[in-house]
């Protein structure tokens, strides 16, 4: 039996992942939501899914989540930090303080502040695999050609922190890896594409056609989770082929 934790499982990739992971009834899936998700709630019909509430942008919520997590499971084998906001559609000069703050608090600080609540439970497992959902938008070297500055910078910060964490825990048999899921047709992706396309329906349709479904993405994540091992600790990879993404 494997115990999984999926942070941010109310919709999109996280929901598809919780669904895929919980199909194996011998495994247990702890899935988080920040507000009630009907679709995630439906998964609890499978008795191996437990929902915990968590808003990663709220320190009180993080502390309460930590307590509930300890009361729910003795150990966690594999944790996936998936939650994020992706609302940035502006270049730096047009990005508001509110947008910088929302992306940084949720995407950069959120996983970093939640991780210490999960760490003691990972130490109780021999598997100790931890995955953080990043994005090529957070690559400083590769620079995506779209004005998603607040989102990209927040993921670059996440990449830095996770790489540091992987080094700081080296020798303790962890596998800590940043994942780029590819282009995935979720509400967040579709909303950003609509704004960036600015009414160019051909462009918008082209971008949407490039995207894989959350279900396909979840299958690729499952394969990645299985394949990635301690020797991969500290890497930033795309899930489609586990090739490196530049930091
Ligand atoms: N889709 C893509 O093409 C793509 C590409 C590259 C990277 N990614 C990354 O993949 C991950 C999933 O993205 P997605 O496309 O599936 O997005 P999504 O459908 O918007 O799902 C994001 C998840 O994060 C949760 N979340 C947001 N803010 C939160 C907070 N403050 N506290 C707790 N949970 C919070 C959302 O909960 P609510 O339902 O409450 O909002 C939702 O469950 C993200 O890390 C994203 O950056 C996606």
The one catalytic residue in 4, 115, 129, 155 is 155
Domains and CATH numbers, the chain: 3-183+214-238 (3.40.50.720)
Q: What pLDDT, in 10s, does the model give residues 182-195?
A: 999 999 999 999 99
Pocket of ligand 1 (CB under 6 A): 8-14, 34-35, 54-57, 82-86, 106, 133, 135, 180-181, 183-184, 186-189
pLDDT of residue 205: 94
Residues near 154 by beta carbon (within 8 Å), at least 6 away in sequence: 84, 103, 104, 106, 107, 108, 138
- Number of the ligand 1 atom closest to the C-alpha atom of 182: 5
SS3 32: strand
**pLDDT < 50: residue spans in the chain:** none
- What percent of the chain lies above the pLDDT cut of 90? 99
Q: For residue 151, indicate whether it is catalytic.
A: yes
Nearest CA to ligand 1 atom 40: 34
Nearest CA to ligand 1 atom 27: 84
Measured CA to CA, the distance from residue 183 to residue 218 in angstroms comes to 12
C-alpha atoms less than 13 angstroms from C-alpha of 21 in its C-beta half-sphere = 34
Measured CA to CA, the distance from residue 228 to residue 131 in angstroms comes to 10
């Amino acid at each position: 039996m494997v115990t999984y934790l999926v942070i941010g499982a109310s919709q999109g990739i996280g929901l598809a992942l919780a669904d895929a992971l919980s199909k194996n009834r011998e495994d247990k899936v702890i899935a988080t939501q920040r507000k009630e998700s009907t679709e995630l709630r439906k998964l609890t019909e499978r008795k191996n899914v437990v929902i915990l509430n968590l808003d990663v942008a709220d320190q009180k919520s993080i502390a309460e989540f930590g307590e509930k997590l300890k009361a729910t499971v003795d150990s966690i084998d594999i944790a996936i930090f998936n939650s994020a906001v992706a609302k940035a559609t502006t270049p730096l000069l047009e990005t508001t303080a509110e947008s910088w703050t929302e992306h940084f608090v949720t995407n950069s600080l959120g996983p970093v502040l939640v991780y210490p609540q999960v760490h003691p439970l990972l130490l109780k497992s021999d598997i100790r695999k931890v995955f953080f959902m990043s994005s090529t938008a957070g690559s400083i070297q590769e620079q995506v050609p779209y004005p998603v500055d607040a989102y990209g910078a927040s993921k670059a910060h996440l990449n830095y922190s996770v790489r540091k964490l992987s080094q700081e825990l080296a020798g303790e048999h962890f596998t800590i890896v940043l994942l780029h899921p590819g282009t995935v047709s979720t509400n967040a992706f579709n909303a950003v594409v609509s704004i960036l396309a600015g009414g160019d329906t051909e462009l918008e349709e082209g971008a949407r056609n490039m995207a894989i479904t959350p279900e396909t993405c979840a299958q690729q994540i499952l394969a990645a989770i299985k394949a990635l091992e301690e020797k991969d600790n500290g890497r930033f990879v795309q899930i489609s082929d586990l090739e490196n993404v530049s930091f």
